[in-house]
Structure 1
Amino acid sequence: MDNSFDSLLNVSAVPQDDKVQAFIAESKNNRNRCYELSEQVTAQVATDGQMLQKYLDVQSTFDRYTANNALLILAQRPDAQKLGDYGYWRSQGTYVKRVERQSPILILEPGKNYEREDGSMGTFYNAKKLYDISQTTLTDKHIEEVKHDERSVIRALVSNPPANIVAAEPDQMPDEKGAYFEPEENCIYVRKGMDAQEIFQSLVPELVFAGYAEGNPHYDRNEDAFHAYCVSYMLSKKYGMDISQFDFTHAPEFFENMEPQEVRGELSKARDAANAISRRMARVLEQDKNLNYRQQGKTEAEQKEPEAKTGEQKAQEHDRGEVR
């Protein structure tokens, strides 16, 4: 009779080779699934203005993600608020619900480079599993919006621009525009007397044009009008401006006869322009936030100082026997 316990230890074991093969197969399936989803949702975005607007909503929320991954998020969970993998959510003190573990949001991340047959270099992409905050065990799934006052937003918007910004009288503005980029002067003229909302939505597209014109001898305003419109929408949504006047009904005309890869390229161009502006704004808004924290801490310290002095005075009075 075998008294060894070794045989009991391997009852549920899976050979290592089988695990590796299963992992490889799953990774391949997930990667192919991403490619299929990307093609499908790209076709929808290119032919349906409402779908394009939903994509821009997702991209404005997840501005650090590539256009292709924003499309994948749109295809799988368009209402996502905050994404992370298993490790991220564990670090936040929460876990992905068991029932949600088989419903990940797949995105593509670049892996190793490889050489094609023609000698050019390519990149392997790997599918990564993410989960939205709504798929976790967090009891409070509300994402607190970061709000900035209008003055801070406008100050951030005009910081370090790609062209000079000059306030102009209303009668000096072409076609009564709120703002206009003049490439020959490398200057953006902004009409005086506008409120923050008007300044923001007039100035953003002109900043986009100025960014495209920088170092580009073939700059053409008409070619970039669609991208500027998309950027204006994304940043308006991101910074809490009114978006009710935006209309993407005719957007499919822009993508007409484009291949899916070309469509994603145009979306990437708008996303990159939005990020260029948003990065500049973020630096200023972060400085404002830190300054407010320091001022708030100073105010609290000043409020506590009289109380401390009163306590010190009472102690001195007690030592002199004056407190009864």
Structure 2
Amino acid sequence: MDNSFDSLLNVSAVPQDDKVQAFIAESKNNRNRCYELSEQVTAQVATNGQMLQNYLDVQSTFDRYAVNNALLILAQRPDSQKLGDYGYWRNHGTYVKRMERQNPVLILEPGKTYEREDGSIGTYYNAKKLYDISQTTMNDKSMEEVSYDERSLIRALVSNPPANIVVAEPDQMPDNKGAYFEPEENCIYVRKGMDAQEIFQSLVPELVFAGYAEGNPHYDRSEDAFHAYCATYMLSKKYGMDISQFDFTHAPEFFENMEPQEVRGELSKARDAANTISGRMTRVLEQDKNLNRRQQEKSEVEQKESEDKTGEQKTQEHDRGEAR
């Protein structure tokens, strides 16, 4: 009789080769699924103004994601607020709900490079599974809500601009515009007397134009108007400005006769313009945040020292009263 227990340990084991093959097959299917979804949703965005606006909403939330992955999020879970893989959520003390494990949000990540037949270098892409915070055991309310002071926003917006910014009287502005970039002077004129939202939404597109014009002898404002409009929308959405006046009804005319890859290229141009501005803004806003935190910590220390001193004085007065 065999007294060894080893044979009992492998009854449910899957041969390693089978596991590897299953993983490869799933990875290939997920990658192909991403390619299919990307083509489908790109076509929808290019032919439907509401879908374009929905994409811009997603891209403003996930501004660090490439356009293709923002499109994939739009196709799978457009209401996502915070995405991470198993490891990310585990490191944050939460877990993906069991019932949601088969409903990942697939995105594509660059993998190894390879050489094509023509000698150019290509990149393999791998499908990655992500899960929104709503798919985890973490309460959505635990997400930190970020709000911005209007003065801080405007100060951040005008920091290190690609062109000089000059305040002008209303009657000096062309067509009563709130702001206008003059490439020959490398200057953005801003109408005096506007509120924070008016300044923000007038100035952002002109900053985009100034960025496009920088070092570009072939700059043409009319060619970049669509990108500036999309960038302004994304930044308005990101920083809590009113977006009700934006209208993308005629956006499909811009994408007419474009191939999907061309559409994604145009979306990337708008995304990059928005990120250039938000990158400058983030540095200033982070400095303000750190300064406010240090001031608050200093205030708390001073308050505690004051309370301790007051308590000590009361104790001394009490002791003197007892002595009398």
- Range of TM-score over shorter length: over 0.9
Deviations 1:286-319 (A, max 9, x none): 1111111111122222222332222333454566
1:46-82 Cα shifts (integer Å, max 9, x gaps): 0000000000000000000001000000000000011
Q: Which residue of 2 aligns with 1:308?
A: 308
Question: How big is each residue's C-alpha offset from its partner over 1:92-150, in whole Å with a ceiling of 9 and x where there is no partner?
Answer: 11100111000100000000111000000000100000000010012344533210111
Displacement of 1:6 in angstroms is 1.5
SS of the aligned residue for 2:14 comes to coil
Q: What is the CA–CA distance in structure 1 between the aligned matches of 2:97 and 2:237, rounded to whole Å?
A: 30
What is the one-letter code of the residue matched to 2:158? V
What pairs up with 1:220-239 in 2 under 5 angstroms?
A: 220-239=220-239
Contact between 1:156 and 1:282, CA under 8 Å: does it hold in 2? yes
Name the count of aligned residue pairs.
324
- Write the mapping of 1:265-276 to structure 2, written as runs, cut at 5 A: 265-276=265-276
Task: Identify the range of structure 1 (307-316 vs 255-264) with the bigger mean alpha-carbon deviation.
Answer: 307-316
Change (3 A) 1:111 1:312: same
Residue identity opposite 1:265 in structure 2: G
**Structure 2 match to 1:285:** 285
Question: 3-state DSSP class of the match of 2:122?
Answer: strand
Q: How does 1:230-249 map to 2 (within 5 A)?
A: 230-249=230-249
Determine whether 1:37 maps to 2:21: no
Distance in 2 of aligned mates of 1:139 and 1:303: 34
The equivalent residue for 1:107 is 107
- SS at 1:312's partner residue? helix
User: 1:154–1:196: 8 Å Cα contact kept in structure 2?
Assistant: yes
State how far apart, in whole Å, the 1-side matches of 2:4 and 2:304 are: 72
1:47 alignment counterpart: 47
Per the normalisation by structure 2, the TM-score is: 0.97
| Distance of 1:117 and 1:128 partners within structure 2 | 28
Percent pairwise identity: 89
Would you say the 8 A contact 2:208–2:228 is kept in 1?
Answer: yes
Partner of 2:118 in structure 1?
118
Residues 22 and 141 (structure 1), Cα distance of their counterparts in 2 relative to 1, 3 Å cut: farther
Aligned counterpart, 1:80? 80
Structure 2 partner of 1:181 = 181
Counterpart amino acid of 1:277? I
**1:154 matched to which residue of 2?**
154
2:134 and 2:140 in contact (8 A); partners too? no
> Can you give the 5+ residue segments of structure 1 that lack an aligned partner in the other structure?
none
SS at match of 1:60: helix
CA distance in 1, matches of 2:182, 2:153: 24
Letter matched to residue 289 of structure 1: K
Letter in 1 for 2:128: K
**Structure-2 residue corresponding to 1:263:** 263
Unpaired runs of at least 5, structure 2: none
CA–CA distance in structure 1, aligned partners of residues 142 and 3 of structure 2: 57
Distance 1:309 1:205 in 2: 55
Letter in 2 for 1:63: D
**Contact residue 159 and residue 284 of structure 1 kept, 8 A:** yes
Report the aligned-residue RMSD.
Answer: 1.4
Q: Deviations over 1:242-262 (max 9, x none)?
A: 100000000000000000000
**1:105–1:129 CA contact under 8 A, matched in 2:** yes
Contact 2:133–2:140 (CA under 8 A) maintained in structure 1: no
Q: SS of the counterpart of 1:184?
A: coil
Q: CA deviation at 1:323?
A: 5.7
Q: How has the CA–CA distance of structure 1 residues 114 and 275 changed in structure 2, closer, same or farther, with 3 Å as cutoff?
A: same
Distance 1:246 1:218, change over 3 A: same
SS of equivalent residue, structure 1 residue 166 = strand
Query: SS state of the match for residue 128, structure 2?
Result: strand
